[in-house]
Amino acid sequence: MKVMVIGSGGREHVISWALAKSSKVKEVICVPGNGGTGVEEKCRNIVPSLCEYLKDVKEEDSYCEIAKHEGCDLVVVGPEDPLALGVSDTLWKNNIPVVGPKKEAANLEASKDFAKEFMVQYGVACAESKTFTDALEAKDYIKEKGAPIVVKADGLAAGKGVVVAATIEDAIKAVDDFMVSKNLGNAGTKIVIEEYLQGTEISILSAVSVSPDTIQNGTACILPFVPARDHKRLLDGAKGPNTGGMGAIAPLDDVNKKQLDEFQKNILEPTLKGLIDRKMDYRGFIFFGIMLTSKGPKLLEYNVRLGDPETQAVLPLMDFDFSDLCKSIIDGTLNTFEPKWKKGYVCAPVVVSGGYPLKYKRGVPISLPKDTKNEVKIFIAGASVDRRGQYNGLITSGGRVLAVSAFGSSAKKAREAAYDVVSQVSFDGAFYRKDIGLPGAAESGQL
Ligand code: AMP
Ligand code: GLY
């Protein structure tokens, strides 16, 4: 089987690596891929802007053209943007199977208002909220409810669309930033104002197989993976500014069976009911962003994809063929798929460019340890192969440069193995958190 993976981040390096490990996969085409996928066995990067045959093709159609040109049997979409553009709809129309929901279902991430309306209709446990298109009304509501309170831009905003406001003034400023100054463009024309939830955050990535066929024959399902935790703040102890994620660990020792049962009953099952009721075509992955509150788990958000960097911690725990999982999502047999997970933990700290998440340099040469043990894998994100040949190897091309995923029989051993390798990664300005996976490092509402 020949598979195409869309995306260029660390998550896509993991997905490509997991697919390439399968004996059933002949080749993985990474579009556009990164400096890690470019050298991964059986993987090949294709950069659309360098393809002559895509010269007059729109971005959302280019993936389909590449899949046809290359004769791909399956496409796996990594990030949310192509899904929100309807890339899956186009691929299915051309009879190319794709792991990734169609455009309508992608709204569960692309529009916070759509997602909240869905959660409320199907009784998914979540924060109380109200949607506004008028700034004055939004401000009156904030004054009535008081702080802390959460202000969310409706549209996709690359992680910049949520303000957890400690004071009424901060919340009002967020309304002005989103609706009046329009600092997120159209993403902030509509906003959702939400009750502040206190607790500990976890991420549950899951596979979804909801399609006309599985709905009809009663096999539609959502299969949750082991729980994971991202660490979004820049500094140790969950301090400093928000980032795209400074590291992840999975599974989690601080989540008990009662909480997982409540998640299943109050979040996963009503979500599945809603997808079926609305006849959504959702064959892909869903990521439940959850706050474990004193009143049980509550859903903060849906993402219609795998999480980054959670994927770097969860997928290396697979004791099954990832291509089989993708196939079961597509052919409607996910309900009988029995995932086996390795007994142990993966800790995956992220190494970032100095200055991230604000200004940082690109094009900085990276030195990686030559040999790493079997249980350690370096997943590249913001780094590319130096095309000008100035340096012999990888150079930085983004803020989050790479993650070191290490397996251990205990969380402590996984952490030690990961940090042993992290300390051998070197580039000018390299920075990382030293507490990924430690109990005190968990986020607990970002006030
Ligand atoms: P979201 O994109 O909705 O997950 O929000 C991004 C981050 O903001 C989450 O990971 C939480 O840390 C925080 N957050 C979002 N909603 C709430 C809430 N209702 N209460 C407390 N923190 C929240
Ligand atoms: N780790 C958070 C995300 O992928 O959105």
Q: What is the pLDDT of residues 218-254, one digit of tens each?
A: 999 999 999 999 999 999 999 999 899 999 999 999 9
**One-letter amino acid for residue 435 of the chain:** D
Share of the chain above pLDDT 90, in %: 92
Probe residue for ligand 2, chosen from 302, 306, 308, 311 as the CB with the greatest number of ligand atoms within 8 Å = 308
196 alpha carbon to ligand 1 midpoint, in Å? 8
pLDDT of residue 373: 86
Residues flanking ligand 1, CB < 6 Å: 127, 150, 152, 162, 164, 194-197, 201, 289, 300-301, 443, 445-446
pLDDT of residue 371: 81
Probe residue for ligand 1, chosen from 108, 156, 162 as the CB with the greatest number of ligand atoms within 8 Å = 162
| Of 179, 291, 178, 272, residue with least CA distance to 227 | 291
In a 13 Å sphere around the CA of 45, the CA atoms on its Cβ side amount to 19
Q: What is the mean pLDDT of the chain?
A: 95
pLDDT of residue 415: 97
Looking at the CA of residue 310, tell me the nearest atom of ligand 2.
1
409 is written with which tokens?
């029989």
435 lines ligand 2 (CB under 6 A): no
Q: Is the pLDDT of residue 150 over 70?
A: yes
| Of 126, 76, 80, 124, residue with least CA distance to 106 | 80
- Determine the Cα–Cα distance for residues 152 and 164; give it in Å rounded to an integer: 9
Q: According to DSSP H, which parts of 194-268 are helical?
A: 212-216, 257-263
Q: Is the pLDDT of residue 431 over 90?
A: yes
Q: What sign for the dihedral angle of Cα 405, 409, 415, 419?
A: negative
Looking at the CA of residue 309, tell me the nearest atom of ligand 2.
1
232 alpha carbon to ligand 2 midpoint, in Å? 9
Residue nearest atom 5 in ligand 2 by C-alpha distance? 307
**Residues 6+ positions from 163 with CB-CB distance below 8 Å:** 150, 151, 152, 170, 171, 174, 177
Residue 390: pLDDT band with limits 50, 70, 90: low
218 alpha carbon to ligand 2 midpoint, in Å? 31
Q: Is the pLDDT of residue 421 over 70?
A: yes
Which DSSP helix (H) or strand (E) runs through 379?
strand 376-380
128 alpha carbon to ligand 1 midpoint, in Å? 13
Residue nearest atom 11 in ligand 1 by C-alpha distance? 445
Instruction: Report, as an integer, the average pLDDT of 9-24.
Output: 98
201 alpha carbon to ligand 2 midpoint, in Å? 12
pLDDT of residue 59: 81
**431 contacts 353 by C-beta, under 8 angstroms:** yes
Residue 447: pLDDT band with limits 50, 70, 90: low
230 lines ligand 2 (CB under 6 A): yes
352 alpha carbon to ligand 2 midpoint, in Å? 16
Q: Model-level pTM?
A: 0.96
pLDDT of residue 388: 67
Q: Is the pLDDT of residue 436 over 60?
A: yes
245 alpha carbon to ligand 2 midpoint, in Å? 7
25 alpha carbon to ligand 1 midpoint, in Å? 38
301 lines ligand 2 (CB under 6 A): no
Instruction: Report, as an integer, the average pLDDT of 79-106.
Output: 97
124 alpha carbon to ligand 1 midpoint, in Å? 16
pLDDT tens column, 21-65: 999 999 999 999 999 999 999 999 999 999 999 999 988 899 999
pLDDT of residue 392: 62
Probe residue for ligand 1, chosen from 111, 151, 164 as the CB with the greatest number of ligand atoms within 8 Å = 164
Residue 445: pLDDT band with limits 50, 70, 90: low
55 is written with which tokens?
């010269």
Q: What sign for the dihedral angle of Cα 292, 238, 187, 354?
A: negative
Q: Which ligand is nearest to the CA of 238?
A: 1
**Residues 6+ positions from 30 with CB-CB distance below 8 Å:** 4, 5, 7, 12, 16, 37, 38, 43, 44, 45, 46
Residue 284: pLDDT band with limits 50, 70, 90: very high
309 alpha carbon to ligand 2 midpoint, in Å? 7
**Residues 6+ positions from 332 with CB-CB distance below 8 Å:** 209, 211, 213, 214, 217, 219
pLDDT of residue 446: 56
Contacts 24+ apart (CB under 8 A), 172-181: 172/139, 172/142, 175/135, 175/138, 175/139, 175/142, 175/151, 176/135, 178/151, 178/153, 179/135, 179/138, 180/135
pLDDT of residue 374: 86
Residue 391: pLDDT band with limits 50, 70, 90: low
Expressed in angstroms, the distance from the first to the final Cα of the chain is 48
At how many degrees (to 10) do helices 322-331 and 10-20 cross?
90
- Determine the Cα–Cα distance for residues 387 and 381; give it in Å rounded to an integer: 17
pLDDT tens column, 174-195: 999 999 999 999 999 999 999 9
Beta strand 27-32 pairing with 2-7 = parallel
